[in-house]
Amino acid sequence: MEDNFELVFSSQEKAIVVSVLLAGESSERMEEDVAELESLLRTLGVQVMGRMLQKRQKLTPSCYIGTGKVQEIKELALTQGAKLIVFDKNLSGPQVRNLEEMTGMVVLDRTGVILEIFSRHARTNQAKTQVEIARLEYLLPRMTGAWTHFQRQRGGGALQRGMGEKQIEIDRRRARDRISRLQKQLEQIRKEKATQRKARTNELKVAIVGYTNSGKTTLMKGLTKSQIAPKDELFATLDTSVKTIDPRTRPKILLSDTVGFIRNLSHSLIESFRTTLEEVSEADLLLHVVDVSYAHYEDHIKVTNSVLSEIGAGDVPQVLIFNKVDRLNDHILPRILRAAYPGCIVVSAEAEKDILIVRDHIYNFFRKNLVTFRMEVPADNQIAQSLIYRNCIIIEKGFDEGRNCLLFHLQAPRATMTKLRNWIVSVDDELLPTELDA
């Protein structure tokens, strides 16, 4: 039977949120980070009963904050009936152990909260595998001393407080073995996904990226006319969804919706989701969705671009989509945005007219990158004809009875043209104007 190591984290829990402002840091930024953490906790159904903020010149290695402040936090938690203390930044294993021993309460950090959300929202085998790897790698350094807010469930039994070091070492070894098995499973999933993407090389690929809860799924729904149900919560989308923008377009344009990004997302968590994010790095175009109703949307842009660079997608062409403009009463901001970010699009993803603007931008982007050429294909060559009808825009079509061959004037991506090179008669010097959605 598998050992399932998991966070003990129940809904309707009451929590105290803790944050530290170091010398030189912005108090406004700290306030935003704390508000974001509270939103993450609300996504889990956790009730925030209070905040404890501290200004410090430097962090305390043993327990992150001062011992006096730890006692204040404990007293506040007891007063408010809270059993959970959540830190906005990430803690080390020893820090968690010391804080729990000093307070007698469950202590979590930002990554632990995000992992719990990921775990609840994972639906596919790929997402569940990635989440479990990330969870185990997070737990390993925290398996020290009297780690109490994690449990190992085996047939309903739970690991109890005060276990010996020998048992902890056994659990560490089991966790490492489990990680090894999961990584092998994930590698097999990665190979299968790579094969699927290879089969789509003739199709054009667009990926929607952006900060969590910026409206990516709403945009996906509008562009593909699918029945996706967007949710107003953080990390509602965890599994990548790939759909066709319009089945009539030739070549097909595939649109993928991916997991959202967030500040202070640990490198190990990004690595765990590299399989999911490969859809982004292999896209032809990125739609970078930004919630413009958020006052400091520039920070969200920076976070997203930073993660894109980390996963090797920093050079993929992208267009900024400033979303949720309908929530603003500022009629001047759209003009300011267009001046500051040339080529951007300012929209409400819930408005049909704005969806059409984004769609046309996608069409025009690919139209500029199509090659126009002429072909002569034997009438009995079904393979070449199938490739043409699936992946090319047919400008003109004719038939030469004397030679029993079809005559085509086409537009297609260069990769498709290369596959048809044996039957190409000529390549036009200039692209002919054509409507992709004709």
Compute CA distances 402 → 378, 379, 392, 422, 424, whole Å: 11, 11, 25, 20, 19
Please check whether residues 209 and 173 belong to one and the same domain.
no
Q: Rounded mean pLDDT of the chain?
A: 81
Shared-domain flag, residues 247 and 354: yes
What is the Cα–Cα distance from 25 to 20, expressed in whole angstroms?
A: 10
Q: Is the dihedral of CA 139, 145, 146, 151 positive or negative?
A: positive
Residue 373: phi and psi, rounded to 5, are -155, 165
Looking at the structure, do residues 387 and 418 belong to the same domain, yes or no?
yes
Instruction: Please tell me whether residues 286 and 339 are part of one structural domain.
Output: yes
**Spatial contact of 209 and 286, defined as CB atoms under 8 Å apart:** yes
Q: Which residue has the higher pLDDT, 364 or 258?
A: 364
Domain count, the chain: 4
CATH code of the domain covering residue 19: 3.40.50.11060
User: 438 lies in a domain?
Assistant: no
SS3 114: helix
Structure tokens at 162: 């005060």
**Span 336-347, average pLDDT:** 94
- Both 238 and 358 in one domain: the answer is yes
Strand partners, 397: 408
Report, as an integer, the average pLDDT of 2-31: 76
pLDDT of residue 77: 94
Contacts of 259 (CB under 8 A, 6+ apart): 212, 235, 237, 238, 240, 273, 276, 277
Structure tokens at 126: 């790929």
pLDDT band for position 197 (cuts 50, 70, 90): low
CATH number at 411 reads: 3.30.70
Cross-strand pairs, 427 = 373
Give yes or no: residues 152 and 257 share one domain.
no
In a domain? residue 147 = yes
Ramachandran angles phi, psi of 347, nearest 5°: -145, 170
The per-residue pLDDT for 285 is: 92
Q: Which of 150, 176, 197 is the last residue of a domain?
A: 197
Could you give the maximum distance between any two Cα atoms of the chain, in Å?
Answer: 95
Range of the domain at 161: 137-197
Do residue 193 and residue 205 come from a single domain?
no
Comparing CA positions, the residue from 103, 55, 113 lying closest to residue 82 is 103
Examine residue 405 and state whether it is found in any structural domain, yes or no: yes
134 φ/ψ sector (left φ>0, alpha ψ -120 to 50, else beta): alpha
pLDDT confidence tier of residue 437, bands split at 50, 70 and 90: very low
Do residues 282 and 197 make contact, with C-beta atoms less than 8 angstroms apart? yes
- CB proximity list for 214: less than 8 A, separation 6 or greater: 260, 289, 290, 291, 300, 323, 324
Whole-Å CA distances, 250 to 41, 411, 427: 45, 9, 19
Rounded to whole angstroms, the Cα distance separating 161 from 146 reads 6
**Angle, CA 103 vertex, CA 101 and CA 104 arms, to 5°:** 65
Taking the CA atoms of residue 191, residue 193, residue 198 and residue 200 in that order, the dihedral angle to the nearest 10 degrees is 170
132 domain residue, yes or no: no
pLDDT at 230: 55
Does residue 304 share a domain with residue 164? no
Instruction: Give the pLDDT band of residue 347 (cuts 50, 70, 90).
Output: very high
Which residue type sits at 375? Answer: M
Statement to judge: residues 167 and 144 lie in one domain: yes
Residues in the chain: 438
- 334 prior amide bond cis, ω within 30: no
The predicted pLDDT at position 162 comes to 46
**What confidence score (pLDDT) does residue 165 get?**
63
Residue 423 has pLDDT above 70, yes or no: yes
Average pLDDT over residues 135-146: 73
Residue 309 is assigned to a structural domain of this protein: yes
Domain membership flag for residue 143: yes
Average pLDDT estimate for 323-349: 90
Q: Do 152 and 215 fall within a single domain?
A: no
Of the candidates 151, 15, 138, the residue with the CA atom closest to the CA atom of residue 87:
15
Q: Specify if 127 maps to a domain.
A: no
Burial class (CB in 10 A: 0-12, 13-18, 19+), 188: exposed
Are residues 275 and 416 part of one domain? no
Q: What percent of the chain lies above the pLDDT cut of 70?
A: 84
Residues 206 and 354 in one domain: yes
Write the DSSP string, 10-57: -TT-EEEEEEEEETT--HHHHHHHHHHHHHHHHHTTPEEEEEEEEEES
For the whole model, what pTM was predicted? 0.74
Give the separation between CA 290 and CA 321, rounded to whole angstroms: 6
Residue 229 CA to residue 114 CA, distance in Å, equals 22
Identify the residue with better confidence: 246 or 230: 246
Does 317 map to a domain? yes
CA distance 124 to 136: 18
Tokens describing residue 280 = 């982004």
Residues 89, 20: contact at Cβ < 8 Å?
A: yes
State the CATH number of the domain containing residue 235. Answer: 3.40.50.300
Q: Which of 81, 97, 122 is the last residue of a domain?
A: 122
* 400: helix, strand or coil: strand
- Residue 146's pLDDT band, with cuts at 50, 70 and 90, is very low
**Which residue among 122, 148, 176 closes a domain?**
122
Q: Which of 10-24, 41-55, 418-432 has the lowest mean pLDDT?
A: 418-432
CA distance 250 to 413: 10
